[in-house]
């Protein structure tokens, strides 16, 4: 969700790529930011069954007889087709494929599609999920960033990240950007990375600021190393971009500090060689810092802008002209009172947005909910504007929002060459969705069924990089008793320690 910082509480072819000056609490309130905030074969082949363990990524696997929704315009959709996976990548897509040495997954009565991609989630909050269903943004800031974040131990970060990552996989989210603004110490950072790696999800670890309490500045804490620890992380954990978990900088940005500090963050990220993700157009209190910063020529295609609730036309144009991407968290934006989601503003600027969950403290952690929220809000806005006489406004379609949750998510996470569509050569990040379930049968239009009718109960199988993470509706290789135990213990500690 918002990056109000700690101190503010805040067919077979190669794959194609489709300084730290912070605002004080007083300055924040005087800037009217609060009012602005409130206003994821052959017959001899073996068939994978329920009890089979995770498939090794270098094995061959054939998804047989599924309804393929590829999200690749050149591949198209197949009412009945197969997907061959080899060495963790998609090797072939088409009808009646044969591979005598491959394991077979029967995809009958299943939609086969790329996994969902979440472009912004604060995963450390996993152990306090569903805790603020009725809150406003200000209450979230006061409680979660003001009281909860500062008492987090590295073990709590690990527990939150692990439970959030596993639940994302369970919901069909194969790729996620962990916007991790809980870097209170380097040990907190290491715990977050460890959990992501252990979960088996494809993730971008967004290294962010620490949570040190309401009204405090970064310089008030001596335990964190933000943002300079980015260099250590790149060397220690992320020396290669060809791995399941990669790195970006979850920057504070000019909306929550000085332009000089923000420029230093951008410079550091590019020096280290990682992307940036930043909250934009929220809590500006009449300021237009992104417009000011954009004039320096610092914006680029390596940056994702989150929410964008109060951007000016000039700021939208700057983002579009420099190839920036956008992440919209429709449920949080409506539920916590940031502003109506800006799907239409993004489209009008020539930007196709991605979708994100944001905070599980207040909204569900699945992409079915996010797709429906963005779908309904944009269409409602266009209906109302058309009634007022505006012309040539286009309503989004179910396929549009499915693209937001897959293809555009991959683009925003900087992995459009790796995932986001069923394309030969891309990583096998694939989900199978049940069409024989009572909530969607009978299925005529699979895209409509996904966007309008399905929920997490339809997620039958989840594959990440050719490795099975969920099969027959259950996570594979996960000790649920252990997960429940560490999550509960962490939750109990944090709630008691924070006094909430």
Q: What is the pLDDT of residue 241?
A: 85
pLDDT tens per residue, the chain (500 residues)?
544 433 333 333 333 334 333 333 333 333 333 333 323 223 333 333 333 334 455 489 999 999 999 999 999 999 999 999 999 999 999 999 998 899 999 999 999 999 999 999 999 999 999 999 999 999 999 999 999 999 999 999 999 999 999 999 999 999 999 999 999 999 999 999 999 999 999 999 999 999 988 777 887 888 999 999 999 999 999 999 899 999 999 999 888 778 999 999 999 999 999 999 999 988 666 678 899 999 999 999 999 999 999 999 999 999 999 999 999 999 999 999 988 999 999 999 999 999 999 999 999 999 999 999 999 999 999 999 999 999 999 999 999 999 999 999 999 999 999 999 999 999 999 999 999 999 999 999 999 999 999 999 999 999 999 999 999 999 999 999 999 999 999 999 999 999 98
The length of the chain, given as a count of residues:
500
Q: Domain 6-39+115-412 class?
A: alpha beta
- Does residue 442 have a cis bond before it (omega within 30 degrees)? yes
Q: Is the pTM of this model over 0.85?
A: yes
Q: For the domain covering 60-114+429-475, report its CATH number.
A: 2.30.40.10
Return residue ranges of the chain for CATH 2.30.40.10. 60-114+429-475
Return residue ranges of the chain for CATH 3.20.20.140. 6-39+115-412
């Amino acid at each position: 969700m918002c990056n109000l910082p700690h101190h503010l509480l805040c067919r077979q072819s190669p794959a194609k790529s489709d300084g730290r000056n912070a605002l004080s609490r007083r300055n924040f309130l005087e800037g009217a930011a609060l009012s602005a905030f409130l206003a994821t074969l052959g017959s001899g082949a073996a068939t994978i069954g329920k009890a089979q363990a995770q498939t090794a990524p270098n094995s061959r696997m054939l998804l047989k007889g599924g309804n393929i929704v590829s999200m690749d315009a050149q591949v198209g959709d197949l009412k009945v087709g197969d997907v061959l996976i080899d060495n963790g990548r998609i090797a072939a897509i088409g009808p009646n494929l044969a591979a005598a040495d491959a394991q077979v997954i029967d995809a009958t009565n299943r939609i086969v599609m790329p996994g969902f991609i979440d472009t912004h989630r604060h995963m450390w909050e996993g152990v306090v999920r569903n805790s603020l269903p009725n809150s406003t943004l200000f209450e979230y800031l006061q409680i979660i960033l003001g009281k909860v974040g500062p008492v987090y131990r590295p073990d709590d970060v690990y527990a939150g990240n692990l439970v959030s990552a596993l639940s994302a996989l369970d919901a069909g989210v194969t790729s996620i950007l962990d916007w991790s603004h809980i870097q209170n110490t380097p040990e907190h950072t290491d715990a977050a990375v460890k959990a992501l790696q252990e979960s088996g999800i494809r993730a971008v670890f967004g290294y962010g600021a620490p949570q040190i309490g309401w009204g405090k500045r970064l310089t008030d804490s001596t335990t964190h190393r933000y943002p300079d620890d980015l260099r250590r992380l790149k060397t220690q954990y992320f020396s290669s971009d060809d791995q399941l978990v990669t790195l970006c900088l979850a920057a504070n940005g000019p909306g929550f500090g000085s332009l000089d500090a923000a420029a230093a963050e951008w410079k550091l990220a590019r020096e280290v060689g990682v992307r940036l993700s930043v909250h934009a157009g929220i809590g500006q209190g009449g300021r237009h810092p992104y417009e000011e910063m954009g004039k320096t020529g610092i914006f680029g295609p390596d940056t994702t802008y989150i929410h964008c609730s109060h951007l000016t036309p000039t700021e939208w144009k700057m983002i579009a002209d420099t190839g920036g991407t956008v992440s919209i968290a429709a449920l949080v934006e409506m539920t916590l009172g940031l502003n109506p989601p800006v799907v239409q503003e993004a489209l009008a600027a020539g930007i196709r947005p991605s979708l994100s969950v944001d905070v599980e403290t207040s909204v569900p952690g699945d992409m079915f909910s996010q797709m429906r929220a963005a779908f309904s809000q944009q269409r409602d806005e266009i209906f109302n504007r058309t009634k007022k006489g505006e012309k040539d406004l286009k309503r989004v379609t179910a396929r549009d929002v499915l693209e937001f949750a897959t293809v555009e998510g991959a683009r925003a996470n900087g992995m459009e060459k790796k995932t986001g569509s069923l394309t030969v050569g891309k990583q096998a990040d694939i989900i199978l969705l049940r069409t024989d379930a009572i909530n969607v049968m009978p299925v005529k239009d699979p895209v409509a069924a996904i966007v309008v009718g399905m929920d997490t109960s339809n997620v039958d199988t989840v594959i990440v990089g050719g490795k099975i993470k969920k099969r027959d509706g259950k996570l594979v290789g996960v000790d649920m008793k252990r997960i429940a135990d560490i999550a509960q213990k962490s939750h109990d500690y944090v709630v008691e320690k924070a006094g909430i």
